[in-house]
Structure 1
């Protein structure tokens, strides 16, 4: 048996200088471009990383020149996709050089960046199927249309400057510098006045004036125009309210209606909403899910997504989703978007831009910590583990910011359901009492014996109660004990807890500027004030509230169903307001 170890041999050598870097870059291009399968995955991953590192050492023009050379084989669509993400000159050289099969082109083109697809229109040797894919995606030639060739105006030759007579009279000057512009045999413009010894300048001025007049004239339909700063006279387009689409198996849009295809094809729908990701992972239909799309003005913003999974026949292999996106009724037009919704959209767009580099940092740290590419010293593994942990905390904080923005804008609500809040409170109290025991602190609980059912899902209710109780527990001082009470009224369930001494002097405990944190229990990456504000937004989304009433923090939630055994006392929130 023969083993091809050329790639491993290349990777064992380090590029010490610029010449060695260029040589190794060419070697990796040749090896990765010729082979597609049959190599160790970790070895291939190391080769891609090395190729990217070498690309940072070599200017883009030189890399483009290397790629354009004809002395190596370029048959790997994975390499074409990798180089298409690079600088424009490198991407153009790669897509002009790639020699792929018809099926490879058809699978590759929808995954290419939108800016890179236009380079393929410069090729005249693409297979028919690839041409059809480009047509379906709305990718057209980058060149401007050729204007109609008009006959050049006849200009009477001007006398040479040395032959111009002296300025004897106005009549002689007019005779000497007369300029006539003719079109189709008719005089179109009168000759401009000329000064002595400036005949060529006069001719240039006349041509500029003619150009300005034609520029200000109404445009004829079909005439090609360049963006020269003139006023746009195009009629405003109707707002885009809905469109159909389909995705591939990874969740990336591979087809859309022609009117919107250039703006959304290639867009990845995964990672935009956890509910959509869960349905996608389980291959389940997606019904009326809210999604915030980035991109051009016509498609950016909130959409309602309906889609069903597709499976190939007869193998039953999952091939993606087909569905429709439509604007919500309340935001069908940009003018109807509320201030809170616009602010939430801006925050979510900012968080999207921040998540991308943090995700990359976390991924590389985990690669180092798990030694996926080879042995790593334990000291570096420990540092990588710490970086991965910090990245995870940052991503969790981004999720909390996104959740708060969407809750306060009314874009999402807690999941409906039924949960026994009494059991949730008891379970969380047991966890927190063990943590506070070391400081001789804790809660003095007086809980109703009733289950106290609330009309929200158990996961959401547990998260809400944890934000409230864990934040207060983290601010408890040594030896301090807080009273906590759970009461079921006829229409609502009330959970009230005494405020720790460190909060009694704080004016607004829901202010994001309030960053007091404790040592035993984490109140979130942004501090106690932000966490309590998020809990309040969750409570209001469920039809309840979280409010400070004197020296108590009171959570009210709607009861799930009628409870005739509930205490026939006055509403608990009113009792706390009265100081009882």
Structure 2
């Protein structure tokens, strides 16, 4: 028998603040929604009380989004009644998300407001008894108070009327929840469980296993509810749990993880930073990828992020690691090209095609390593703009050559219109090419096959002239907010070989940071991605022309 103590684990944690409050509100609602029959009465009361206490700390937009995410999975009648006591948008979202039995609806309908009953009448999947009940309801409402424990339920009738009126609607819950729980036979077996405390003061090691989506499905060490369900496939964002960009990228490539940073939230026994090492495992018969198995450990003092004096050493170690990885990759590329070009003798078409594939994958890895190196240098402030002059015509020709194979593989037509006259970029050619190549590669990958991308580049004259590059948004990222688009966890659906090695969000953030370090900028609107870089002043153009003459 497995004991599901995830709700208790979430509630055991410290009372959250800020964005963590919204996260816990969503977690509690999600856990309660899906397993109503397996929660004993005290769990239901504790969960509902926590939702009530968090209410004023969670924005209405976040609550609505959390309830809508429960669509088709909200099977808890007590939770539904509580949510329907919130404002009308949340009440509507909860009723439309509910998946209750006919008997459950019969218990819930008398406790709904007139608005809730009106929304319920729009559903077409109600049972015969529920339809009859909703059609005969007069819409009467009751003022009932949420209590924090079962003993206080006896005092509900003694609450003065004035106090009841002053209590906000969302801070109350129908008192019938207690009666509802008592008469539900499905909950009876769970009430006899002897609850054990699995909490200890400290945990230094966690063994874990994930499924093929990266979600942890088994753990040894902490209470399972504190870690089961966390994913290692998407980088952590804000204060949520998850790995760093390196760990998420390694998962996407099915590569071993070694000392990746991992953040856990919730119960104090596991909350905080960890170091994660893991290897992928595959089915013995099918060879199909099945997930990761590994271990998490607390970082030692030298690895603590608070030791800023180690940052320079870490960057040097990262750069050395990248250098050591580049060396064998370059050798692989060299031998693959020898086979493909048949320099040492004839090779069959199959061998040459395989060599081409190896070369492309190795080049892709090299580009990813270079991106990590550049990102680390930007973070350390080691990337500075280099003065120079780069002709737009030269840049467009270089990009055409560099992106040819990618546009052909995706059947994407890229049209760049140059609004004459366009001044040279006031940067060295390597920096300009790097920025545009990263942006256009990410955009092409985000296109559907056969799609068309349109762009234009023009010079904006002023005290400090700039060149503006405007690119139409690829179809697969249209309608996505800028904040979400720049999230390092943002990816693109499809074959992993067709996506940026470190994710679309990482690539776009890198372009933005490169542009910023070059005294430029990158902005994203509803339908365009715009890049602004410094252009040559008139005096610089005149000097260059004089030198050429």
**Could you tell me the TM-score, scaled by structure 1's length?**
0.32
For the pair shown, the structure with the greater C-alpha radius of gyration is: 1
**Could you tell me the TM-score, scaled by structure 2's length?**
0.34
Greater relative contact order (Cα 8 A, min sep 6): structure 1 or 2?
2
